[in-house]
Amino acid sequence: MVRNIILARWGRLAVGIVIVGLFLSLMVPASWAGERSFRAGAALSNITPPLGTLLVGEWVPQPAIHVNDQLWAHCLVLDDGDHRLAIVVADNLGFCREVADAAREWIEQETGIPGSHVLLAATHTHSGPSARSPRRLATDELNEYQHFLARRMADGVRMAINNLAPARIGFGSAALPGDVFNRRWFMQPGDHLKNPFGGMDQVRMNPPQGSPALIRPAGPTDPEIAFLSLQTVDGQPIALLANYSLHYVSGIPAGHVSAGYFGAFTDRIQQLLQADRLDPPFVGIMSNGTSGDINNRNHSQGGERQAPNVAMRAVGDRAAHAVADAHHDLEFHDWVSLDARYDDVTLAVRKPSDELVATMRRVLEKPEGEPAYHSRERNYADRVIRQIDAPDHVSVPVQTLRIGPLGIAALPFEVFAETGLELKERGPLKPAFTISFANGSYAYLPTPEQHELGGYETWLGTSLVEPQASVKLVDRLLEMFQELSDADSDAQTD
């Protein structure tokens, strides 16, 4: 009998040990237990606005009268067993920081992913609504669509987590130089260099194609399409995140909702990779790189306007084929480590001089029908006057992600190509790319040298922060990249 009691007690102890072991296996990261687990999940969250919503990609907003193609928040979640990253790229012109902060807060509360590990960006399609602040620097309260967009981005991350599955990851690069051209040109002196402030610039954005006054582009281009690809352990595509420094391509009628070439790419890459939309639910993503001074028109040559949908589908198709071709040679990894950094950088806000304010007030006082010095002078007179009451400084978010060897920088601006090229060249993580329109929207980010040349992207009201901003932001991003690189090296030696 004593023997039976002892055996029973040992049996209960053994069962208890097993239960505790199972509990610890769930609570302790797999990497602590000597096992490395990598998972990925993706999802689409529909963000198409109701018809009647104002589409603001052009100078005069147009109400939506038709949906050419649906708008989506493309959501990707990665998990290395210790850390999770969430990346959301939404088909939107751009959203203010308050929208990103609201979505980030919901994501952190509802999923446990730290806000610093959540990257939220817009594609900058010009055929969709804006979720930016009317004042461009801050907003007091989200409007109906802004609230909807933030909520749907957060929902998309939750759905991507629901789809998490063991995965492999590969990193690739393709070149597509024929669709990226610098849109800022040095030109022979003439009226074509006038600016809305009563002066003359040295360069012009989007000059007439084939004009004899053209001299040379004012900056470089970045022809690379960098991408990462996720697949299940048995080789089924899960998601593909690409990055191309091309501003946008649309070409559809006014009032038609469309994701532009970003949507055309995601649709075509799904077909080329022979991916399933449902099992597992494949999500293609094209993020906007450093394209603030880039478009797909070769200004040195004349060209005819293409029929609706043709241009965006052609560019999306070429980009998808370039990526699919490079995808054939991709090496996939069973596990990579993940990390992120997030910070705020304080920048001075540009303010108009007394002389400029006086000039712009005279513009607004002109009688109806009086000849204008520049076709957009009234637009910019309004912007200059509004800028008087803007805050003296603004705090903007900057972010870096590390996905294995890959470094991703995120900036809430329309970033110039030369800034992206500098980050690729100087950063310690290779490969690397920059996602623009990320975590907020603070207008254009020219370099100090480009500010000196003038042109649309540098005008007060188009560019809102100090001319040295790009230098300060690049310096901080490089520091954050170095922190990620050092942390990874320390982890490798432990």
pTM listed for this prediction = 0.91
Q: Are residues 364 and 471 in the same domain?
A: no
In a domain, 20, yes or no: no
Q: Are residues 401 and 441 in the same domain?
A: yes
In a domain, 140, yes or no: yes
Last residue of a domain, one of 387, 408, 435: 387
Whole-angstrom distance, CA of residue 29 vs CA of residue 414: 39
In a domain, 461, yes or no: yes
pLDDT at site 38: 98
In a domain, 89, yes or no: yes
pLDDT at site 17: 37
Q: Are residues 444 and 332 in the same domain?
A: yes
- Structure confidence by residue, pLDDT tens digits, 61-100: 899 999 999 999 999 999 999 999 999 999 999 999 999 9
Domain that holds residue 363: 352-387
Q: Are residues 314 and 437 in the same domain?
A: yes
> Which parts of the chain register pLDDT below 50?
1-33
In a domain, 197, yes or no: no
pLDDT at site 255: 93
Q: Are residues 256 and 383 in the same domain?
A: no
In a domain, 11, yes or no: no
In a domain, 308, yes or no: yes
Q: Are residues 47 and 136 in the same domain?
A: yes
Number of domains in the chain: 2
Instruction: Identify the burial level of 44 via C-beta atoms within 10 angstroms of its C-beta, where 0-12 means exposed, 13-18 middle and 19 or more buried.
Output: buried
Q: Are residues 236 and 381 in the same domain?
A: no
Write phi, then psi, for 388 (nearest 5 degrees). Answer: -60, -40
Q: Are residues 222 and 282 in the same domain?
A: yes
Q: Are residues 222 and 310 in the same domain?
A: yes
Q: What is the mean pLDDT of the chain?
A: 91
CB contact at 8 A, 90 and 137? no
In a domain, 236, yes or no: yes
pLDDT at site 185: 98
Q: Are residues 366 and 225 in the same domain?
A: no
- Structure confidence by residue, pLDDT tens digits, 140-156: 789 999 999 999 999 99
Q: Are residues 374 and 471 in the same domain?
A: no
pLDDT at site 302: 75
Q: Are residues 229 and 89 in the same domain?
A: yes
pLDDT at site 30: 42
